Amino acid sequence: MNSMTGFGAATVPFGSASLRVEISGVNRKQTEIALNLPRAWAAIETPLREAVSGAVSRGRINVSLSLQTPGGSSGTITLNKARLQALRHTLSELKQELGAAIEPTLDSLLRLGIVAEESEADIPAESVLEAALPAVQEALQAFLLLRAQEGENMKRDLLARIENLRGFRRQLAARSAGVATRHRETLLRRLEESGLPIPADDERIIREIALFADKCDVSEEMARLDSHLDQFERICDKEEAVGRTLDFLCQEIFRELNTTGSKANDAELAQLVVAAKTELEKIREQVQNIE
């Protein structure tokens, strides 16, 4: 069992600089891989995506690749001297015409391409790919390891909560077994209080109790609930991705609890169903993060 959340990073030497790869994941119903690369390296997006896609089956995976220089920058700041000279000439002409000096701002210099971060654009994408693939694999292994560790923690939590649901199931079965008997006693008491005492073995009473017992019988729901809980535990031990299957089982468990509640006709039984649904909702929230 693996979590869909995780993080992994790796840094490899690249000339006088280094390449930094970071991989992180969050939960999604389907597989989604998002790459964050410098624009100049767009050509290597497909092989990088393929290197990651085979390792995951569910979740949004964010892959970031950047160039790190010894000074901590992701590139080298360069100055376009030819454009700078042209800008100075233009500003000088404007000063003569307007009678006032115009001072360029850093923002305008960046927009005009006079000051720019150009080192990444100067590096061939093919050479970046050759160095980046080992870093991607290293970051990916760290990412998968963290997902597996988190998955084990989630598995322990889920199995503990499934055991709690088993406890609620036992209480529901025990309480539902006496519903018909309690209804019979209540019916006879109300008839007597109304001045209409009827013997307990009266055919009409027997028919009423038989119909009520059949209507409130939840033995089938309890049997299916037991089966779903057993399946949940078995699936948690599988190595492959199990998130979708566990999500489906949560829906089936909810259906059995919901049917039991609708048949209950008993306040204490209804309270037990509500408590079991609350525990199930915690399980469903956890399952949303499982691959």
pTM value surpassing 0.85: no
Sign of the CA dihedral with 185 first, then 187, 188, and 190 last: positive
What is residue 252's DSSP assignment?
H
Query: Per-residue pLDDT tens for 126-168?
Result: 788 888 899 999 999 999 999 999 999 999 999 999 999 999 9
**229 and 161 part of one domain:** yes
**42 and 68 part of one domain:** yes
**25 and 139 part of one domain:** yes
Would you state the pLDDT for residue 41?
81
CB 8, CB 56: distance < 8 Å: no
**43 and 142 part of one domain:** yes
Evaluate whether residue 200 is within a structural domain.
yes
Would you state the pLDDT for residue 97?
78
CB 22, CB 142: distance < 8 Å: no
CB 134, CB 140: distance < 8 Å: no
Would you state the pLDDT for residue 118?
46
Query: Per-residue pLDDT tens for 72-110?
Result: 544 555 666 777 777 777 778 777 777 777 777 767 766
Evaluate whether residue 51 is within a structural domain.
yes
- For the chain, the straight-line distance linking the first and the last C-alpha, in angstroms and rounded, comes to 7
Would you state the pLDDT for residue 176?
74
Helices and strands: H and E segment counts in the chain: 9, 6
**197 and 283 part of one domain:** yes
**84 and 198 part of one domain:** no
Structural domain for 132, as ranges: 6-73+125-146
**272 and 161 part of one domain:** yes
**140 and 152 part of one domain:** no
Tally of domains within the chain: 3
Residue ranges of the chain with per-residue pLDDT less than 50 = 73-74, 118
CB 119, CB 94: distance < 8 Å: no
CA-wise closest residue to 143 among 286, 5, 289: 5
**18 and 89 part of one domain:** no
Evaluate whether residue 220 is within a structural domain.
yes
CA-wise closest residue to 236 among 142, 170, 160, 141: 160
109 Cβ contact list (under 8 Å, min separation 6): 115
**44 and 136 part of one domain:** yes
Evaluate whether residue 1 is within a structural domain.
no
**202 and 231 part of one domain:** yes
